[in-house]
Structure 1
Amino acid sequence: MEKTCTNVWNSCLQIIKDNIPAQSFKTWFEPIKALRMEGSVLTIQVPSLFFYEWLEEHYVGLLRKTIKKQLGDEGRLEYNIVVEQSSSPKPYTTNMPSNGNGAEAKHQSMPIPISINKDIKNPFVIPGLKKLNVDPQLNRNYTFESFVEGDCNRLARSAGYAVAAKPGGTSFNPLMIYGGVGLGKTHLAQAIGNEIKRTLPDKLVLYVSCEKFTQQFVDALKHNNINDFVNFYQAIDVLIMDDVHNFAGKEKTQDFFFHIFNHLHQSGKQLIITSDKAPKDLAGLEERLLSRFKWGLSADLQVPDLETRMAILKNKIYQDGIELSNEVVEYVAHNIDNNVRELEGAMVSLLAQSTLNRKEIDLNLAKQMLKNFVKNSAKEISMEYIQSLVCEYFEVPIEMVKSQTRKREIVQARQISMYLAKAHTKSSLKSIGHFFGGRDHSTVIYACQTVEDLIDTDKKFKGYVADIQKKLKMS
C-alpha cells in the first residue's frame, strides 16, 4: 500500500489509541489532521499552540516511537499550528526549534476566517451595567497554588491555566470539569476565577451553583423581573456554573440558561461548568444544551494516586503550620483513597483527636482514628506476596528474582515486582531495593520507569500488569 499522509497517520493513531485512555485520545488526537507526506516527514495540523505544547510535554515519547515504527529511523513529525485570527487575516508563522526528539513546528499556519457583523446591537445590554461592582462569589483559598497537581487532574488543571490566561480566547470554551464527589471540581473552577480576577481585575467573574441559579430564576419569575435576571447574566465576562447535573428535570430553567449560554459564547465570553458526569452520561438535560457542553473541552478529575494524596496532605499541614512525620502522612494517604474531601476530613479529625486528648500525633493515634473512616480494613499487601504472585504468574523461581541474573524473563518479573511494591506498599524505595537482592533506590526508580514506558507502548505487557493488579485487589 502506498504510504500517504492519511494512512500513515491512521496507522499511528491505531497504536496510540491502544496505549492511552479513551478520553485522552478523544481530546488530544481525534482533532489532529494529517496534511502532507514528504519523504520521511509527516506533517500534521493541530488546533492551537497550547495543543502543540501539550503533545510535546506529555506524548512526545509515544509519538516518536510510533513515527519510528511507521517511517523507520529517519521518520520525523512536523506540526502545522492553527492560530486564532486577530484584526487582519495575515498568516502566522511560528519558528519553534526542534526539541531534539524529531518533532518540529515550523510551517506556516492556515488562518481561520471569522465573520463579525459589528452593526448588530445587543438589545439586552444595559448602559453602565459593566461599571457595577459584581461580587464574584469566589473563595479566595481556592487557588492554583493550593490545588495539588497529579496524573489524576493534570489535563483539567493545565486547561484551567490556559483559560485563566486567556478567558474566552481558547478552544476550551466551555471548559467542563467533571468527576466524582470530593475530587476538587469546585476548587479548580474557582481557582480559574481567582486567577482571572488577579490578572484581569476589570473582568466580571461570577461563580454560581446550579441550585442558586435556579432559585434566582424562580424568584425572578415570581417578582416579574426576568429581564433584569437575563440582563445581569448576559453581562458577565466569565461565568462559572457549578453542578450543572442539578438542572435535570428543570426544563424552564434549562431553557433560559441555554439562551444565556448562547449569548455569552457568541460574545466571546468564557464559560466554565462542573458536573459529576461527562456530558454523554448526563440524564434529564435537553439535547441542545448537552451539545453545547461538548463544544469545548471536557476534562475529568479522577481519584488521586498515593503520591498525589500524600502531596495533598503535606500541603494542608503546611498551610496549617503543623509538622507530621512522613510515616503518619503515608499511612493516612494509603488508607483513605476515595476522594480528597474525605482525605482532608481524616486529617482534621486526627488533629482534633490530638488536641482534645493532648496526645502526640503518631502512627498509633492515626491507626485508632482511621477505624472511623475505613469501613473494611483490608490486610496490607507485602512485598513477599507481590513477589510470589509475579513469580507464579510468569512461572519463574522466586529465588531467581533476587539474584544477579540478567535473563530477560527474570529481569521483567523483578521490575514488575518493584513497580507493584512501590504502588501497593508503604515501603520506601531503599527498602524495596534492599528486598529485591540488595539493590539501591536508583535501580528501583529505573525499574518503575521502564515498566511505565512499556505500559504506554506495549499493549501485551500492559495486559500482564493489569492481570497481576487484579489479582492483588482480590487478595
Structure 2
Amino acid sequence: MRTCGRILPIGSVSRPSPMTPTEHASAPACGQPEDRTRPSGSADFETHLKARLAEHIDPQTLAMWIEPLAIRRGEDGRITVFAPNDFVSTWVENHYLTLLREAATALIGEPPRVELAVDPDLEMRARPAPAEEPSADPDEGAPRAGRPGPVAGLCDRYTFERFVCGASNELAYSAARAVAADPGKRFNPMFVYGDAGLGKTHLLHAIAHAIRAHRPDLSIVLASAETFTNDYVQAARKGAYDTYRERYRSTCDVLLLDDIQFIAGRARTMEEFFHAFNALHEAGKQIVVTADRLPSELAGMEERLISRLSWGLVADIQPPDPELRRELIRRKAREDGLELAEDVLEVLATPSFRNVRELEGIVTRAAALARLRGVPLDVGLARQTVAELRTVHPATGSITVEAVMRLVARHFGLKVAELKGPRRHKALARARMIAIYLARELTGMSYPALGAAFGGRDHTTMLHAVRRIESLVERDPTVADTVLVLRRRLERPDG
C-alpha cells in the first residue's frame, strides 16, 4: 500500500534545514540595521509576519493554516516555516507560499529564501493535556464519568491501515489523519464528498478508530444521516428531545455524520442539525460530514447549512486512477489468499469499474467462478468476468426487488411471504439477508425502501443484513458461491 505523506516541494522552495524552531529562535537576526518597522528577533518576526498575513486571509483560514506554523528567520536571511505535519506543510506550500514570501519581503526589504520543514512537536504542544486520573476510585467497577463506551456501528475493518491511498483520495486521507490526530483543532468542520463506494464511510470509521486509540476520553458519535433523522423522529414521538440533544450536542465530542445529503428537504431535521452544528463548533468539538456532492450542490439544503459545511476543509475523493485500481485489486486478492499474476491483475483493474466496491467485487466474483469450475484464475477467466460484469446495468430498473425475492425463495425452498414475515430461524434468516443484499446491489433501492418491501422492517435491519452478507461473501466460499449463482440468474434470466 502506498502511504500518503509529504509531496516533494517544487519551484524555489529549498531543502529543509535540520534546525528546530528553538534553534532558529536562538540564532541572531539578519545583519541589517534595526528600525521600528523591521522586527529584530525571530519570535518578533513571526508575530509581525502573521499580522501581515492576517490582512489578506480571513480569520477562519488564518486559524486553520497559519497559526499552527512556527516561522523562524536565520542569521543568513533564510526563513524556515515549520508545520506540525506533512499535510499542513504541503498545503501551505501549495496555497500560501507566494503570499508568505511577499509578506516577508515587505518586512525585510528584499525577497527571502524560504524553506519548509516539519516539527511534530508543534502538534504535540498544540494538544490540550489529558485530564489527570483521580488518585482513587471510590466506585471501582462502576462506569467512570468521562469514559465513553464503544462507538455504535463502528466497523473493525475500516481503519487507516486498511485504506488504500492514491492521488485520487490523498487530500481526504491526509486531512482525515490530521483530524484524528488533533480533533477540533484543525479542519473543523471537515467535509468529504464523492460518489458512492469511493471510501468516504471508510474514512469516517478510520477517524473514529484513531481517536479512540489516543483519546479514549472523547465521546464519538458515528451515524448516517438516516440514523440522525430517525433518532429525531423517535425523539419527537416520545417527547424525548433532551435525550436526543444530549447525544448529538452536549455529550458529543466528535460528530461523524455520513451521507448528509439525505437530510436535505427535511425542514425539522435540518433545523436540529443546524443547532447541533452550532453547539459543537462553538465548543471546539470536531465535526466531519460526508456527502455525494459539494455543499453548494446539495439541492434542498438550507443556505445557512451550506455556508457552515463550507467553513472548514472541503475535500473530494475521485474515482481511482490506474495505479490505485491495481493496488486495490492486489490488496483484495491478498486478503482473500489469492496470488494474481500481473497480466490477470491488469485485466481485472479495468477502467470500467470506478469505485472500490466494484473493484473488490470483481475479485470476489472471479475467485468464485474459478472455485465453481475447478480451474485457475487466469487471464481468460479474468476477461470473461470483466465482460460479464460490463453487461450489467442495475440502474436501468430491469431487476426488481420482487424478482429477487421470488428467485431467492425458490432457491431455498421458501415462500416469498416467509421472506417478508416475522419468523427468524437460522435458515430463513440467512435466505432473507441474501435477498436483501442482492436487492440492494442490483436495484440500488434505499434502505428505508428495502425495509418497506421486506415486511416493513427498519432500515437499520436492512443495513445489518447487507453488511453481514458482505462479510460472509469475503470469508465463506459457500455463501460467496450461492450469491454468485443467484446474481447470475438475476442478471441473465434467459441464460
Q: State the TM-score, normalized to the length of structure 2.
A: 0.54
Q: 1:231 aligns with which of 240, 246, 250?
A: 246
Report the Cα offset of residue 202 of structure 1.
Answer: 2.5
- In the alignment, structure 1 segments of 5+ residues that lack a partner are 1-26, 88-126, 377-475
> Are the counterparts in 2 of residues 32 and 45 from structure 1 also a CA contact under 8 Å?
no
> Are the counterparts in 2 of residues 304 and 337 from structure 1 also a CA contact under 8 Å?
no
Matched, 1:141 2:176: no
Equivalent in the alignment of 1:445: none
> Are the counterparts in 1 of residues 329 and 360 from structure 2 also a CA contact under 8 Å?
yes
Equivalent in the alignment of 1:328: 344
> Are the counterparts in 1 of residues 79 and 112 from structure 2 also a CA contact under 8 Å?
no
Matched, 1:345 2:330: no
Q: 1:49 is aligned with what amino acid?
A: P
Aligned residue for 1:206, secondary structure, equals strand
Report the Cα offset of residue 183 of structure 1.
Answer: 0.7
Report the Cα offset of residue 358 of structure 1.
Answer: 1.4
Deviations 1:300-348 (A, max 9, x none): 0011111111111111111122211111111111344411111111111
Q: 1:76 aligns with which of 107, 113, 119?
A: 113
Cα separation, partners in 2 of 1:148 and 1:277, compared to 1, 3 Å = same
> Are the counterparts in 1 of residues 148 and 218 from structure 2 also a CA contact under 8 Å?
no
> Are the counterparts in 2 of residues 210 and 247 from structure 1 also a CA contact under 8 Å?
yes
Cα separation, partners in 2 of 1:249 and 1:361, compared to 1, 3 Å = same
Distance, in Å, in 2 between the alignment partners of 1:253 and 1:315 is 39
Distance, in Å, in 2 between the alignment partners of 1:162 and 1:230 is 28
Distance, in Å, in 2 between the alignment partners of 1:199 and 1:131 is 13
Q: 1:252 aligns with which of 259, 268, 276?
A: 268
Aligned residue for 2:154, secondary structure, equals coil
> Are the counterparts in 1 of residues 159 and 203 from structure 2 also a CA contact under 8 Å?
yes
Q: 2:195 aligns with which of 174, 180, 189?
A: 180
Q: 2:223 is aligned with what amino acid?
A: V
Equivalent in the alignment of 1:90: none
- In the alignment, structure 2 segments of 5+ residues that lack a partner are 1-60, 106-110, 129-142, 393-495
> When the two structures are aligned, how many residues end up with a matched partner?
307
Equivalent in the alignment of 1:192: 207
Equivalent in the alignment of 2:299: 283
Report the Cα offset of residue 296 of structure 1.
Answer: 1.4
Q: 1:206 is aligned with what amino acid?
A: V
Cα separation, partners in 2 of 1:197 and 1:279, compared to 1, 3 Å = same
Distance, in Å, in 2 between the alignment partners of 1:335 and 1:236 is 41
Distance, in Å, in 1 between the alignment partners of 2:368 and 2:209 is 30
Equivalent in the alignment of 1:312: 328
Cα separation, partners in 2 of 1:284 and 1:139, compared to 1, 3 Å = same
Report the Cα offset of residue 233 of structure 1.
Answer: 1.6
Distance, in Å, in 1 between the alignment partners of 2:359 and 2:318 is 14
Aligned residue for 1:298, secondary structure, equals strand
Matched, 1:270 2:286: yes
Q: 2:84 aligns with which of 49, 65, 78?
A: 49
Deviations 1:378-406 (A, max 9, x none): xxxxxxxxxxxxxxxxxxxxxxxxxxxxx
Distance, in Å, in 1 between the alignment partners of 2:349 and 2:87 is 35
Matched, 1:360 2:395: no
> Are the counterparts in 2 of residues 243 and 275 from structure 1 also a CA contact under 8 Å?
yes
Q: 1:311 is aligned with what amino acid?
A: E
Aligned residue for 1:314, secondary structure, equals helix
Matched, 1:209 2:224: yes
Distance, in Å, in 1 between the alignment partners of 2:325 and 2:172 is 17
Q: 1:150 aligns with which of 150, 159, 166?
A: 166
Matched, 1:302 2:318: yes
Of all paired residues, the percent bearing the same amino acid is 37
Report the Cα offset of residue 79 of structure 1.
Answer: 6.8
Aligned residue for 1:208, secondary structure, equals strand
Cα separation, partners in 2 of 1:368 and 1:86, compared to 1, 3 Å = closer
Q: 1:255 is aligned with what amino acid?
A: E
Report the Cα offset of residue 350 of structure 1.
Answer: 0.7
Distance, in Å, in 1 between the alignment partners of 2:349 and 2:341 is 13
Distance, in Å, in 2 between the alignment partners of 1:278 and 1:365 is 40
Q: State the TM-score, normalized to the length of structure 1.
A: 0.56
> Are the counterparts in 2 of residues 137 and 206 from structure 1 also a CA contact under 8 Å?
no
Report the Cα offset of residue 42 of structure 1.
Answer: 9.4
